[in-house]
Structure 1
Amino acid sequence: MLTLTKTRTPLRRSPPQNQFLQATSQIHSQDFEAFYDFYRRIMPWMQYNTPQAGNQGSFTLNYDNFSNRYGRLYNGVGDRLYDLEQLVGKMSADEQPRYTNMIQIARILKAYYAFYVSDIYGSIPYTEAFQGRYGGTLQPKYDTQQELFAKLDAEIKAAVAVLKQSPAVPQYSLDVYDQYFKGDATKWIKAANALRLRMAMRVQKADPTAGNAIINEVLAMPAGDLMSSNADSWVFIGNATFTGDAAGGNWATDELRAPKPMVDFMWQKKDPRIDVFFTPNQYSQANIDLLIADKKLPAGTREGRRYVGSFTSPDESRQTANIQRYYTPKLISSNNTTVDTLSFIQPRLFNAGRADAAGNAGTGRSYIPVITYAEFCFMRAELATKSIGTGTAKSWYEAGVRSSLAFYDEIGQGAKLTNYTPMTEAEITAYLAQPGVAFDAAKAMDQIASQSYLNFMRQPQEGWALWKRTGYPNENSVVPMPKMTYLNVPLVIPRRSPITLPSSSDPNYANKKAAYDAMAAQPGFGDLANAQGRVWWDKQ
């Protein structure tokens, strides 16, 4: 783990907004995070995918190369956003007030990313971080997660208060340097309040009084300060090359299978997102006819279900019958083509520039959500089950489902996904009427969490947090997440990032050791290297 802000050459007088753009690019352009943290760690743990041959062995104990986010906070994101303020501070007294809103927006983004890092680490340097080359300490103390979350909430709240005021002088806009909202202060207010809500619902698990106080404060804000449609969603949108092949093959999902539990639910319930999430298998009628000619299928075989998922439990994926039936493709002799039974992850959902089967590069947009309106609705629905806030659980739940479908329909079209058919209102209406999807007050929390889990397909890290916070999905939930075993031994899903023991030669050893000792003393945290332990908010 890094703890020191890397010393860089002194800043040139570049426009402050350059630092904002560079920080956002650093947040979202990390192909190693995609490859290790998402595709091969969090997504298999949370049954959003499996490897090509299904999950194998005690895979939940594999977290090598996991958590690429920590170092980036101090070298690429937080430091650049701190630099933005320093650049403004070097300007003339009459120019500085024109950057007031820009600074507040930068603080919101910095708070988001610090939260994102602490979310799975616990204590991290923050209050004393980023300041080394401005006369601050090179041995920053660690903020506990409890202290940090409170500090971040206060910073976001203060930023919102400033953004709500009419500026005394015209403001310089981030404009195209802001790939979320083009510098729109109104949109940033809504995003900031949604972030406060997300954080508070983590805090609520460990400290209900503190969490509820923030939640009630946010929900008491004027309606115009809260998300109200998909147009308010906090989403990074780049071009195809941002996550394309040229950006690094690590973005590719080529070997990642669709998971059986999720695929089965979506197929049975006619979920319109199924072709956004997954690809059809290769059993087209044309391929079936060729296999019949090869006498590898019986005459009269007709095309059937083409969305088929991979077993998520290693004990099931290693069964001989399943290997033969699902994991052994058939070969068409006439053209030497293999025909695969199982579906894969939709390539351009994560890798917009990915070439199709004909070799045509993707030309759509890359969508990387931070907080969507659908998530906001599902949080409101969950809170409504506890009589917190306005509106009913049913109305917020249905709004969440609809907005999730609309969001993924936008991705389907905007990212130019292969084999994608735009949704129709009739499909959406029919889906909302399906048993298990139609709101049932007796299963309200289960349904809300299950649909939230589906909505997080493009944000698996939030699906992981949802599971830790609520216990959903599980083996009995509406959208099931079956227990996984290897050699009949239950596999335990990790809950946080493992932490490397500090070396006594580390310049910040004393602060590190103090922070780690304090975390290790927390109930449930466990050994530092044990990813199955719990950070402060993830109270048992």
Structure 2
Amino acid sequence: MKTVYKIFLMVIVVAFISCEDQLTEFNVNPNGVDPEEVNPNLMVPTIIVSTVKPYLEIGYNGDIAGVMQYVQKSGWSGELNRFEWRQQRDWDGWYGNLRNARHLYERAEEEGMEFQQGVALVIRAFNFAYISDSWGDAPYTTALNALEGGQEDLFPAFDSQETIYQGIIDDLETANSLLSKPSGEYEGIKADADLIYGGDPAKWRKLANSLKLRYYMRLSEKLPEYARAGIEEIVSNPSGYPVFTSTDDDATMDFVGASNDDSWPANTTFDESQSNFDRIQLCAGFRDVLVDLNDPRIGVWFNEVRVPIKISDEYGDDEIVDGVRYLHPEYMAENDLVVYDKDQWVADIENGKTLVDTMNYAGLPIASSTGDGSSWNLNPQPIQGGPNVHNSALADMYKEASGDMLKARLISYAEICFILAEAAQKGWNVGDQKEWYEKGIEASFNTWDLSEEYSTYITNEGVAFDGSLEQIIEQKWIANWTVAHESWCDWRRTGLPNFTIGPRGLRDAMPIRFQYGSNEISRNYENYSSAIENLQETDYTATDGKDSSWSKFWLLKGTNNPY
């Protein structure tokens, strides 16, 4: 479904839609396509790519992937390894997506293209949810209206998270209606323009309602009865509100692999140095859980270390024999080296010890060093951003520019199963908790071509169903590999998984939001100043003031989670 034609379309749309304001001033489009007359199908690929790829990047090898303990980095790693989130983060790209989505909706409405209208509303809902989930209150009601020229349009007020979420739910409700007809009744669908579902309205309708389940659960601590009613309504009416029913419904985007821009992030095809790939390494927190559960997914996502470390008195102080590095116990003691222990490592670091990870899948612990992470586990060549033969790197498939398993994922059937398992655990009328929990694990195994391993895994200690919320969220966290932003939202809402963090982080707790960006502060200071008054400082805000990455927004205030 990915073609050169699509790439061409993306280039055109980026050129004229992202610069719509400037083009309107000149009333001339240098690319020969008038934004007021553009075919809506030309806009769809860019809107999808500019939403999906940044979401993947922050959840696969970005800061949130580090905070959620999936990966760490061996270079340029302060924000990811030690959550040094003191900088302001702009949301311009996400609002750019929203401007494009609005233009798509308006053009589709003019042309009578209900399918494209529905797609625009789903993309709009997803982007506004990302903004609100990440920053908190944000311009919503009067956002995207700068061309209208009014004071409230040029300097939009920030709406509350509650207001934004109500709008998100309403947009998805409208999308469900727009996308409810048989495919043959829609005008102007171009399958090649839809990089997610190939122009299938039924799939987009399922996506709209599956996102509603996600966002209702997001509200479950603040508006429990509203969330319960919303989820039960969807589950009780599958014909009126169809949702994902298998991994075939997953909202994913493949990669073309023709250039770095349309390829899997940090691939080595377009980076001969491999630095971007090499610096991404397995986090010890993720490894500990996967190994404890005897989880075969670790072997799909990561490689074993190239040179394992073992402790033995059969060799000298520090020798490599037959591809294994042996350290003598006396040498360990003399040099304050201790074997990594998942229950002891924080205290060992605080006591001045140097950790040695002897597992075949070795992982870098979060916030374990004030350095760049390159010297972890006695790396013999500690180069910032370089490889480490004693730590697990990403699996080789992630070196590729594209591949069958290299998909950017917005939301999956596995996630839906875990949402419903949690809803059942709360006592809501959505079906059997155990069944949904096990379906979620099975869906994840199917996604990673491990279906034959499922029947054994589901009986493992720690995996076999015990009815706890901890177990549901842990398995959801594992299944959300590369979708760390959603795991971040779950952790903030529930306090789960119960992560251990090292003593070298900027604060003694992980961050819970982004600071507002410098562009918004400089352009819209009065409304920014009003918005930050709604943030609640915590014990970890320190000297940041209210606009801190450790301050609570509405979704978290009064919940006692995650701290």
Q: Shared fold (TM-score greater than 0.5)? A: yes
Q: Tell me by how many angstroms 1:207 deviates.
A: 1.8
Whether 1:7 aligns to 2:21 is yes
Aligned with 2:130: secondary structure? helix
| Partner SS state of residue 254, structure 2 | strand
CA drift of 1:406 comes to 1.3
The TM-score with structure 2 as length reference comes to 0.74
When the two chains are superposed, the root-mean-square deviation of aligned CA atoms in Å is 4.0
Counterpart residue identity of residue 436, structure 2: W
Aligned-pair identity in percent equals 22
1:497 maps to 514
8 Å Cα contact 2:537-2:546 kept in structure 1: no
Give the partner amino acid of 1:24: I
- Counterpart of 2:380? 329
Distance in structure 1 (CA, Å) of the matches to 2:539 and 2:216: 21
Provide the secondary structure at the position in 2 that maps to 1:50: strand
Give 1:424 shift: 5.4
Relative to structure 2, which stretch is displaced further, 366-375 or 218-227?
218-227
Q: Distance in 2 between matches of 1:41 and 1:293?
A: 37
Structure 1: how far apart are the matches of 2:42 and 2:128? 20
Answer with 400-409 or 136-145: which moved more.
136-145
* Superposition map of 1:7-406 within 5 A: 7-10=21-24, 11-12=34-35, 13-30=37-54, 34=57, 39=61, 41-52=63-74, 60-63=82-85, 67=89, 70-75=91-96, 77-88=97-108, 91=110, 96-97=111-112, 99-133=113-147, 137-165=153-181, 170-222=186-238, 225-240=242-257, 241-243=262-264, 244-245=267-268, 252-283=276-307, 291-292=320-321, 297=326, 306-314=360-368, 326-329=377-380, 340-346=389-395, 348-349=397-398, 352-353=400-401, 366-406=406-446
Q: Secondary structure at the match of 2:320?
A: helix
Q: Residues of 2 paired with 1:176 and 1:8: CA distance?
A: 29
- State which of 419, 430, 433 in structure 1 corresponds to 2:459: 433
CA distance in 2, matches of 1:58, 1:14: 41
Tell me how far apart the structure 1 counterparts of residues 483 and 189 of structure 2 sit (CA, whole Å).
29
Contact 1:44 1:55 in 2 (8 A): no
Q: What is residue 527 of structure 2 aligned with on the other side?
A: 511
Q: Distance in 1 between matches of 2:323 and 2:172?
A: 65
Q: State the distance in 2 between where 1:261 and 1:528 align.
A: 30
Establish whether residue 520 from structure 1 lines up as the match of residue 535 from structure 2: yes
Q: Deviations over 1:215-272 (max 9, x none)?
A: 2222222257121100111112222342245777999332122122321332343312
Moved more, 491-500 or 122-131: 122-131
- Give the secondary-structure state (helix, strand or coil) at the position aligned to 2:228: helix
Amino acid at match of 2:307: Y
CA separation in 2, counterparts of 1:215 and 1:49?
33
250-259 or 289-298, which deviates more: 289-298
- Matching residue of 1:408: 448
CA distance in 2, matches of 1:168, 1:59: 50
Distance in 2 between the 1:283 and 1:159 partners?
A: 53
* Equivalent pair of 1:495/1:531 in contact (CA under 8 Å): yes
C-alpha contact (below 8 Å) 2:88/2:516 kept by paired residues: no
Aligned-partner residue type, residue 343 of structure 1? S
- Tell me the amino acid that sits aligned with residue 363 of structure 2: G
Distance in 1 separating the partners of 2:251 and 2:548 = 33
One-letter identity of the residue aligned with 1:271: D
DSSP 3-state at the match of 1:388: coil
- CA separation in 2, counterparts of 1:142 and 1:291? 60
Matches within 5 A, 1:446-465: 446-465=470-489
- Amino acid in the other structure paired with 1:111: A
Q: Is the 8 A contact 1:37 1:66 kept in 2?
A: no
Task: Give CA-to-partner distance per residue, 1:324-368, whole Å, 9 cap, x none.
Answer: 8x233389xxxxx9982221233644x642xxxxxxxx6556311
Query: Shift of residue 467 of structure 1?
Result: 0.7
Structure 1: tracts of 5 or more residues without a match? 332-336, 354-361, 410-422, 475-480
Equivalent position amino acid for 2:432 in 1:
T
CA contact (8 A) 1:38 1:461 kept: no
Matched to 1:520, the amino acid is L
| Conserved 8 A contact 2:78-2:84 | no
Whole-angstrom CA distance in 2 between matches of 1:202 and 1:345: 31
Q: Give the counterpart letter for 2:512 in structure 1.
A: R
1:457 deviation in Å? 1.5
Greater Cα offset, 106-115 or 274-283:
274-283
CA contact (8 A) 2:176 2:208 kept: yes
Distance 1:138 1:381, change over 3 A: same
Distance 1:169 1:276, change over 3 A: closer
What's the CA shift for 1:468?
A: 0.5
* Partners of 2:117 and 2:178 within 8 A in 1: no
Q: Distance in 2 between matches of 1:130 and 1:56?
A: 34
1:102-121 residue CA offsets vs partner (Å, 9 max, x unmatched): 11221111111111111111
Q: Is the 8 A contact 2:73 2:281 kept in 1?
A: yes
Residues 498 and 468 of structure 1: CA distance in aligned 2, closer, same or farther (over 3 Å): same
Of stretches 453-462 and 123-132 in structure 1, the one that deviates more from structure 2 is: 123-132
Task: Give the distance between the partners of 2:282 and 2:458, measured in 1 at CA.
Answer: 23
Q: Provide the rounded CA distance (Å) in 2 between the counterparts of 1:112 and 1:470.
A: 21
- 1:470 CA drift (Å): 1.1
- Quick one: distance in 1 between partners of 2:229 and 2:539? 26
3-state SS of the aligned residue for 1:205? Answer: coil
Task: Give the CA deviation at 1:391.
Answer: 2.1
Q: Distance in 1 between matches of 2:447 and 2:117?
A: 30
Shift of 1:529: 3.2
The answer to whether the Cα contact below 8 Å between 1:272 and 1:428 also exists between their aligned partners in 2 is: no
Alpha-carbon contact 2:155-2:527 (below 8 Å) kept:
yes
- Matched-pair contact (CA < 8 Å) for 1:156–1:196: yes
Query: Structure 1 pair 280/173, CA: closer, same or farther in 2 (3 Å)?
Result: same
CA change 1:365–1:222 in 2 (3 A) is: closer
| Pairs aligned (count) | 478
Query: What is the distance in 1 between the residues matched to 2:423 and 2:438?
Result: 14
